[in-house]
Structure 1
Amino acid sequence: MEALTEAVRAGAGPEELAGLPVPEEYLAAHTRVEDIGMFDGVEDKDVRKSLRVGKVPMPELAPDEVLVAVMASSVNYNTVWSGTFEPVPTFSFLKAYGKLGGWERRHDQPYHVLGSDAAGVIVRVGVGVRRWQVGDHVLASPIQVDDQEATTHADGMLGEGQKAWGYETNFGGLAHYCVVRASQLIPKPAHLTWEEAASTPACAGTAYRMLVSDRGARMKQGDVVLIWGAAGGLGAYAVQLVKHGGGIAVGVVGSEEKAQALRDLGCDLVINRRELGIGDDDGSDPDKVIEAGKRLGRIIRREIGEDPNIVFEYVGRATFGISMFVVRRGGVVVTCGSSSGYQHQYDNRYLWMKLKRIVGSHAANLSEQWESNRLIEMGRIMPILSTVYRLEDIGDAARLVQTNGHMGKIGVLCLASERGLGVTDRAKRDAIGERRLNPLGDGRA
Structure 2
Amino acid sequence: MTGTMSDIQQAIISGNGDELGSLPVPAHYRGMTVHAEDVDMFDGLPSKDKDPRKSLHLDEVPVPELGPGEALVAVMASAINYNTVWTSIFEPLPTFKFLQRYGRLSELAKRHDLPYHVVGSDLSGVVLRTGPGVHSWKPGQEVVAHCLNVELESPDGHNDTMLDTEQRIWGFETNFGGLAELALVKANQLMPKPAHLTWEEAACPGLVNSTAYRQLVSRNGADMKQGDVVLIWGASGGLGSYATQYALGGGAIPVCVVSSPEKAKLCRNLGAELVIDRTEEGYRFWKDDNNQDPKEWQRFGARIRELTGGEDPDIVFEHPGRETFGASVFAARKGGTIVTCASTSGFMHQYDNRYLWMNLKRIIGSHFANYRESWEANRLIAKGRIHPTLSRTYALADTGQAAFDVHRNLHQGKVGVLCLAPEEGLGVRDEQTRAKHLTGIQTFRGV
TM-score tier (shorter) = over 0.9
Structure 2 residue 378 is matched with structure 1 residue 373: yes
Q: 2:175 aligned with 1:170, yes or no? A: yes
Alignment partners' CA distance in 2, 1:246 and 1:105: 47
1:299 equivalent in alignment to 2:303: yes
> Partner residue of 1:392?
397
Per-residue Cα deviation, 1:174-223 (whole angstroms, up to 9, x for no partner):
00000010111111111111111101110010000011100100111110
Residue 426 of structure 1 and its aligned partner are, at CA, apart by 1.1
1:315-362 C-alpha deviation (Å, 9 max, x unpaired): 000000000001000000000110000001100011110000000000
Give the alignment's Cα RMSD to 1 decimal.
1.5
CA 1:282–1:131: 2 relative to 1, 3 Å: farther
Alignment deviations for residues 366-405 of structure 1 (CA, whole Å, 9 cap, x no partner): 0000111111111111110011111110011000100011
TM-score between the two structures when normalised by the length of structure 2: 0.96
Contact in 2 for aligned 1:225/1:242 (Cα 8 Å): yes
Q: Give aligned pairs, total.
A: 441
Equivalent in the alignment of 2:66: 61
Instruction: For 1:21, give the aligned amino acid.
Output: P
Contact 1:283/1:318 (<8 A) preserved? no
Q: How does 1:364-443 map to 2 (within 5 A)?
A: 364-432=369-437, 434-442=438-446
The aligned counterpart of 2:22 is 19
Does residue 41 of the first structure (1) align with residue 35 of the second (2)?
no
For 2:291 and 2:360, the matched residues in 1 are separated by: 20
> Following TM superposition, by how much is the alpha carbon of 1:88 offset from its aligned partner in structure 2, in angstroms?
0.3
Unpaired runs of 5+ in structure 1?
none
State the SS of the aligned residue for 2:128.
strand
Structure 2 unaligned residues grouped into runs of 5+? none
Q: Is the partner of 2:279 in helix, strand or coil?
A: helix
Helix, strand or coil: the match of 1:412? strand
Alignment of 1:264-413 (within 5 A): 264-275=269-280, 277-279=282-284, 281=286, 286-288=291-293, 290-305=294-309, 306-413=311-418
Taking the aligned partners of 1:2 and 1:14, their CA distance within structure 2 comes to 13
- What is the CA distance between 1:81 and its match in structure 2? 0.3
Amino acid aligned to 2:216: L
Deviation at 1:13, TM superposition (A): 3.1
Q: Distance in 1 between matches of 2:292 and 2:186?
A: 49
Q: For residues 151-230 of structure 1, what are the structure 2 equivalents within 5 Å?
A: 151-230=156-235
Q: Deviations over 1:259-304 (max 9, x none)?
A: 111111112211111255345848855551x222111111111121
Q: Is the 8 A contact 1:17 1:123 kept in 2?
A: yes
1:36 partner letter: V
Question: Are residues 400 and 91 of structure 1, via their aligned partners in 2, closer, same or farther at CA, if it must alter by over 3 Å?
Answer: same
Separation in structure 2 between the aligned mates of residue 198 and residue 282 of structure 1, nearest angstrom: 40
Structure 2 CA distance for partners of 1:335 and 1:356, relative to 1, 3 Å: same
Give the Cα–Cα distance (whole angstroms) in 1 for the partners of residues 362 and 198 of structure 2: 39
In 1, Cα distance between the equivalents of 2:415 and 2:13?
25
CA distance in 1, matches of 2:37, 2:246: 42
Q: Which amino acid aligns with 1:441?
A: R
**CA shift in 2, pair 1:84/1:207, >3 Å:** same
Give the SS at the match of 1:233: coil
Structure 1 segments, 4+ long, off by >4 Å, are 279-287
**Deviation for aligned residue 1:15:** 4.7
For normalisation by structure 1, the TM-score amounts to 0.96
**Contact residue 31 and residue 179 of structure 2 kept, 8 A:** yes
| Contact 1:4-1:23 at 8 Å conserved across structures | no
Percent of aligned pairs sharing the same letter:
53
Preserved CA contact (<8 Å) 1:122 1:135: yes
8 Å CA contact retained: 1:324, 1:333: yes
